[in-house]
Structure 1
């Protein structure tokens, strides 16, 4: 039973057009994710699902396998990600591949490290799914509020607390790493993401940027450059 990585990368993007192939530190954005996956010894191959010829070409040049072009019905803004992954896995399994673990990596998280993927893989098998998380900037127990029917703000969760130490730890899914047990994915497609057992794998906030628009892209580039500067002897 193989451990593979999947990368889902549509050609279209409303927030930042063509973001998956935009140059990021001298190479297309998606190439960073593919190289990170290939740097993990336990990942035996990286497969990309895309509807776009340029994305496919860039992905193959970075070392990924692009077995087909994604059908149009799975490449729209309304298409969910889980059916896209399941479609790809079924295609690979129809060709004889036996898959036990699926490491799904979004191409918009270039700041993750191979070590972050490895840390999530270390937890694989202890739950249906391992997800990368980071500490959020706001905690719902004391600093997140929502408007009620009267238009007034009310605390999102809990009864109010004055100190961070007095409330439970909460985590934000950063989208960088998902490690699925293959058998659990059809159940998640059918019943929903939160219907499977999930364990967190913690990443620092500075590696948790998910690029959605030009502002995210600029911030990620700045953080990436800061990392390079700090790593110099």
Structure 2
């Protein structure tokens, strides 16, 4: 049996920062559709599977060509539920139906500015390095060696990573996880569920900040719309 590379998208109906965010209109389509279409544009990906508890999200996803095999159980759709058990639950269901899965490309539905080329690039890093996990990252707006600070017990502030670097250029390169793409070996997901995310060795696929917006609230949505219109798709009339 051929082992497959599939895409997963986890999209629950509840959202406090931006209600109904996964189906909010963005560039002429419901937000989740951008992630579905980006995955469909990657030749390595054989199917796009959506885990949701929400009927509207399910209908939108299926209309875009994704597979929604069930409605996610309530205990995996709460604010407190973490993402990895949700993915593992979906994979176990697919495997029970006979699917042989080797690689999982998990896409955050709130990252519409990523491109199909970004997904292909992350898959290339995954293949070239024989990685267990590749995550998309971007240059952060704050550097822990220079501008990221933490409150101390006495109420004062101190650098998160104090060090004696004379110049910013001398400090180690730091990255911020942008959440857009996670490329997993199948077995690594089960281990991460059991032992924690950072129990798996992680490699990076770098994306520009202009494609790294994660839409969590109205400000993020407006920023992503501006970037789409003025930077990524300047000919758009949307």
Using structure 2 for the length normalisation, give the TM-score: 0.95
1:191 to 192, 195, 214: 195
Q: Do 1:141 and 1:160's aligned partners in 2 also have CA atoms closer than 8 Å?
A: no
Q: Does 1:177 align with 2:181?
A: yes
1:215 to 215, 219, 230: 219
In the TM superposition, residue 230 of structure 1 has moved relative to its aligned partner by 6.2
- Report the secondary structure of 1:150's partner residue: coil
> What's the CA shift string for 1:109-144, capped at 9, x where partnerless?
000010100010002252210000000011101111
Q: Does 1:139 align with 2:143?
A: yes
CA distance in 2, matches of 1:180, 1:150: 42
> Which residue in the other structure is 2:121 paired with?
119
Q: Do 1:10 and 1:52's aligned partners in 2 also have CA atoms closer than 8 Å?
A: yes
- Report the secondary structure of 1:229's partner residue: coil
> Which residue in the other structure is 2:44 paired with?
42
> What's the CA shift string for 1:200-228, capped at 9, x where partnerless?
00000000000000000000011011121
1:154-173 equivalences in 2 (<5 Å): 154-173=158-177
1:2 to 1, 4, 8: 4
2:104 to 102, 105, 109: 102
CA distance in 1, matches of 2:54, 2:173: 41
CA distance in 2, matches of 1:78, 1:161: 40
Q: Do 1:142 and 1:160's aligned partners in 2 also have CA atoms closer than 8 Å?
A: no
Q: CA separation of 1:161/1:230 partners in 2, compared to 1, >3 Å: closer, same or farther?
A: farther
Q: Do 1:142 and 1:162's aligned partners in 2 also have CA atoms closer than 8 Å?
A: no
> Which residue in the other structure is 1:54 paired with?
56
- Report the secondary structure of 2:60's partner residue: helix
Using structure 1 for the length normalisation, give the TM-score: 0.97
- Report the secondary structure of 2:44's partner residue: coil
CA distance in 2, matches of 1:208, 1:167: 23
> Which residue in the other structure is 1:11 paired with?
13
Q: CA separation of 1:162/1:220 partners in 2, compared to 1, >3 Å: closer, same or farther?
A: farther
Structure 2's unaligned 5+ residue stretches are none
The number of aligned residues is: 232
1:24-103 equivalences in 2 (<5 Å): 24-103=26-105
